[in-house]
Structure 1
Amino acid sequence: MNKKVWALGLAGMMMFGVAACGAKEEAKPATAATTSSQSKGMSENNSSKNTVNATNEMRTIHYLGKEYSVPVKAEKIVITGSVESMEDALVLDVKPVGAMTTGGRFAPLFAKIIEGAEGVGEKTQPNMETILKLKPDVILASTKFPAETVEKLNKIATTIPVSHISTNWESNLNLLAELTGKQEQARQALQKYNEEVHGLKEKIGVVFKDKNVLVMRVRAGSIMIYPENVFFNPSVYSDLGAMVPKEVKQAKAQQVISLEKLSEMNPDYLFVQFSEAENKDTPKVLEDLQKNPIWKSINAVKNDNVFVNLVDPTLQGGTVYSKIAFLEAIKSSKLVQTK
């Protein structure tokens, strides 16, 4: 009897042991599944730029005193807010995967480089969702963007705010060249610019000597002037040697002036940029200005030295593309041909 009880007890213990082992074995897959789920969750919570660049080796580049970590192969570039970068892309034949629009369309000027590109919102209103879907390697934004916008973009991919200050034009060009490996194309563009400016400065210097020269922009129905280092001003004052009016020296940013103030400045030579896209609510504003007696009293107007849209009115002024276009236009104008 005792033997039977002992045998039954032993069998029970063995069954309990097997069950216990089975429980341990079943626990392992459950633990692994939990770990896998947690890892997946952590991965999904990572910023998209980590996912995008996971298989792309990174490098550090320097731009205007700051360092940026970018992929060695920055093949997918999004440009938002920076028309300067769009113009540089035109020079270097860089085709962004995404670019900003104007009035829902790409500017005709950039037709060569935007074929197949996705619109990523207007100049001052980037579409974060669209940019995220493009999985860019690098985003080129604008220094005009507020910090919070740059911060949001930086969560998608490394974002570089490109300077809108015209005197940084060479750094801007070299930035895009370094990102895309097109340093030679940039060197050739700079060489062309240097040749243009050297040959023209001597000719135009005589024309502009002791003269009041002004660049203005008609924008949103108003007359705008700019600081010495913004828009086409460096081309006029630094490249071609014209004197800088005190009003331009005093301007801190884009500044609205009245027609009366323009008359008081009384420029001898006046370069006017007018884009219909920037004056949709006041399409006749330039025509109205030209009919105004105050306008007609300005020296530049009286002497037929007003140059309207000497270059494409959508150009930013502070890029190698703008600068060369402006110099070539000056060279072909009556300023050089008849003086």
Structure 2
Amino acid sequence: MKLRENGVWGVFGVLIGSLLCAASAWAETRTIQDEIGTVTLTGTPTRIVALEFSFVDAMAAIGVAPLGIADDGKPERLIPAVKAVVPNWHSVGSRYQPSLEAIAELKPDLIIADLERHSTIYQDLKRIAPTLILKSRGETYEENLAAVLTLAKAINKTEEMEVRLRQHRETMAAYKAMIDSQETVQFAVVSDRGMWMHGPASYAGGVLDLLNVKSPIPDQTGQAYLPTSLEQLLAANPDWLLIGRYADQTPLEEWQSSPMYSLLRAVKHDRVIEVSPGLWSLSRGMLAAEGMAENITQLMNGQR
């Protein structure tokens, strides 16, 4: 029996074409502009080390799991939506002072670092692997959405990220449509060192603004994180106070014994709510923003 020649060569040609396309995608070289300069990469990185939670959130949003994470030695800080995609990773120490030795041991083909935290070790990181420097700490919500496209180009996932960004915008618009309230909401973190309100220029502030949730801070400020005394909290006097707690004993416990504390509207109406600091402060990405939007929608519609 003789096979039809055209059919055999047709199939063979398709296979060869597919292999050539795959090889071309793998070998593609691209130069990415980051916050410091440029980084040149070839192919798709598979051994990625992320030195901030926001970068992990961005990759997890499109199903990519980094090999190493600067997780502060506290794996519980990764939010559930991220852990669903990144169940296992190697810790490379704290975000403030990641271990260069631990990073090098992983033999990464890409390191993603934060402009504010890691500029001083940039040259050391570059000696280990190509290093992409982006804004993370102190970035706004919109700055984050712009930065994920740069990150996506570095990991060779631009199309996937563009699709995910459109889905994210649609998801956030749907949550916004479910919120109809003039009440003010303030998120703050507390630790044994004090309280910091996250202002309108913070990531959390940007998410709340997108949802058309009003800020109680009377003077709009470009400062993302505002050191806060009880007097300053009372001056803001939010209808809802969302607390991200990093320690059991904080100034908040001391303030609760003060008559001034009872004057807060949020206290009077039992609207001081503890929320996940990982979700509201650390993750700073699309998955976190969607979780925050869900929290706010539930609260403002009477669900706790």
Fold shared per TM-score above 0.5 = yes
1:213 aligns with 2:179: no
2:77 to 74, 82, 107: 107
Residue identity matched to 1:303: H
Structure with higher helix content? 1
1:269 aligns with 2:240: yes
1:257 aligns with 2:231: no
1:64 CA displacement: 6.0
Offset from partner CA, 1:53-102 (integer Å, 9 cap, x none): xx97642124469532123221111111x111011122222221211132
Report the CA distance shift for 1:138/1:219 in structure 2 as closer, same or farther (over 3 A): same
Contact 2:36 2:133 in 1 (8 A): no
Equivalent position of 2:162 in the other structure: 187
Stretch moving more, 55-64 or 315-324: 55-64
- Unpaired segments of 5 or more residues in structure 1? 1-54
Could you tell me how far apart the structure 1 residues matched to 2:89 and 2:215 are? 42
Residue identity matched to 1:148: T
Equivalent position of 1:124 in the other structure: 96
Q: CA RMSD in A?
A: 3.0
1:76 to 41, 47, 69: 47
What TM-score does the superposition give when structure 1 sets the normalisation length? 0.70
Contact 1:270 1:300 in 2 (8 A): yes
Report the CA distance shift for 1:265/1:227 in structure 2 as closer, same or farther (over 3 A): closer
Could you tell me how far apart the structure 1 residues matched to 2:234 and 2:118 are? 35
1:151 aligns with 2:123: yes
Contact 2:30 2:40 in 1 (8 A): yes
Report the CA distance shift for 1:106/1:113 in structure 2 as closer, same or farther (over 3 A): farther
Could you tell me how far apart the structure 2 residues matched to 1:56 and 1:291 are? 64
Could you tell me how far apart the structure 1 residues matched to 2:102 and 2:281 are? 26
In terms of Rg, which structure is larger?
1
Could you tell me how far apart the structure 2 residues matched to 1:329 and 1:131 are? 35
Stretch moving more, 316-325 or 306-315: 306-315
Contact 1:213 1:270 in 2 (8 A): yes
Equivalent position of 1:22 in the other structure: none
Give 1:1-339 correspondences, 5 Å limit: 58-63=29-34, 67-80=38-51, 82-103=52-73, 105=75, 107=77, 109=79, 110-164=82-136, 165-166=139-140, 167-204=142-179, 206-208=180-182, 211-243=183-215, 245-247=217-219, 249-250=220-221, 252-274=223-245, 278-279=246-247, 283=249, 285-309=251-275, 312-313=278-279, 315-316=281-282, 318-333=284-299, 335-337=300-302
Offset from partner CA, 1:96-132 (integer Å, 9 cap, x none): 1211132365635354455553221211111112212
Residue identity matched to 2:72: T
SS of 1:145's partner is helix
What TM-score does the superposition give when structure 2 sets the normalisation length? 0.77
1:184 CA displacement: 4.6
Residue identity matched to 2:249: P
Report the CA distance shift for 1:332/1:89 in structure 2 as closer, same or farther (over 3 A): same
Report the CA distance shift for 1:114/1:194 in structure 2 as closer, same or farther (over 3 A): closer
1:139 CA displacement: 0.6
Contact 1:57 1:71 in 2 (8 A): yes
Could you tell me how far apart the structure 2 residues matched to 1:139 and 1:106 are? 22
- Unpaired segments of 5 or more residues in structure 2? 1-25
Report the CA distance shift for 1:200/1:311 in structure 2 as closer, same or farther (over 3 A): farther
Identity of aligned residues (%): 21
Contact 1:232 1:316 in 2 (8 A): no
Report the CA distance shift for 1:113/1:144 in structure 2 as closer, same or farther (over 3 A): farther
Contact 2:195 2:251 in 1 (8 A): no
1:158 CA displacement: 1.9
1:157 CA displacement: 1.7
Contact 1:76 1:96 in 2 (8 A): yes
Equivalent position of 2:7 in the other structure: none
